[in-house]
Amino acid sequence: MIRPGIPLPSPGQSAAKGQPRPVEDAPRPTAAERVRTLVDSKATASLTIPGIGGEGDRVDLEPLARAVTPQGDLILLVFGRSVVARAAAHAQDDELPCVMEITDVAPVTVPHRIRARAEIAGWVTPVPPGDEAAHALLAGQHPAGHLPTDGPDVPVPARSLLRLEVGEACVDDLWGAGQVEPDEFAAARPDPLAPHEAELLQHLHAAHGDQVRSLCRLLGERACGTGTAVPLALDRFGLRVRFAGSGLPPFDARFDFPEPVRDVTGLRRAMRALFTTAAE
């Protein structure tokens, strides 16, 4: 099923400003699944702890690595000498409020390249050195089990693990805006295609650009022209393409798969079927 993200404007109608959005009834991941996918992705993240100094009475720090426990807490790797790590250690058992902000940028060049922003607010505490489960969980997120700061020039004491207990979360992305409760976040699972999405989109753009552009035939004559068609986002429910040029403002079209795919093998079958339909 084909679902345009923003309708093509009528003659003389001004284009909508800002990020294109999809139609409301498109099959979609829940807000909790989208936040969980962002946490598990390589999108840029920063920690903010208000009230402990720094410009504007806040301190920002980018975690070196992150993972999610089965209970829905975040395990964060930071430098041991960072202000955030010292503040968490000093707080002891007190609740130290913290916000993690995540910004997701499309892996291909398109207009309006930022695809998502999310915030996870809660309370941060140090992970005890003997918590082997937390260390193993974080190490398992990286190739060969090595953390980003492993190496002869980075002694173990220079690293600290923090636990962020989720109080609430929100997301504003290509699907729209949504609020997430802690139990929803804990129960959510990341999209199965997320670990491969960047590579898949880049491959589609570089090796199958003509086929991606041919999908405009499924949108009607007004959508086709001499403009560009860039694969913008991919998940188990379908492919999102951003069309631009031809005198039209950028707009998204959502190409839903017949059924959600579970892995890359299922994705290949779904993409072949989609391209075949466009070529008929």
Burial 83-110 (b: 16+ CB within 10 A, else e): bbbebbeebeeeebebbbebebebbbeb
- pLDDT for 29 equals 94
List where CATH 3.20.180.10 sits in the chain. Answer: 196-279
User: 3 pairs with which residues across the strands?
Assistant: 254
Question: Closest Cα to residue 119, out of 99, 97, 105?
Answer: 99
Which residues of the chain does CATH 2.30.110.10 include?
31-188
Closest residue by Cα to residue 242 from 271, 206, 220, 215: 215
Reading the block at residue 225, the tokens are 């022209």
User: Tens of pLDDT along 179-238?
Assistant: 999 999 999 999 999 999 999 999 999 999 999 999 988 887 555 666 789 999 999 999
Task: Show the beta-strand stretches assigned E in 106-227.
Answer: 114-126, 159-173, 176-180
CATH assignment, 31-188 = 2.30.110.10
- Specify whether the CB–CB gap between 189 and 33 falls below 8 A: yes
CB atoms within 10 A of CB 33: 22
Confidence bin at 54 (pLDDT 50/70/90): low
Write down the CATH number for the domain with range 196-279. Answer: 3.20.180.10
Average pLDDT over residues 102-122: 94
Is 70 exceeded by the pLDDT of residue 106?
yes
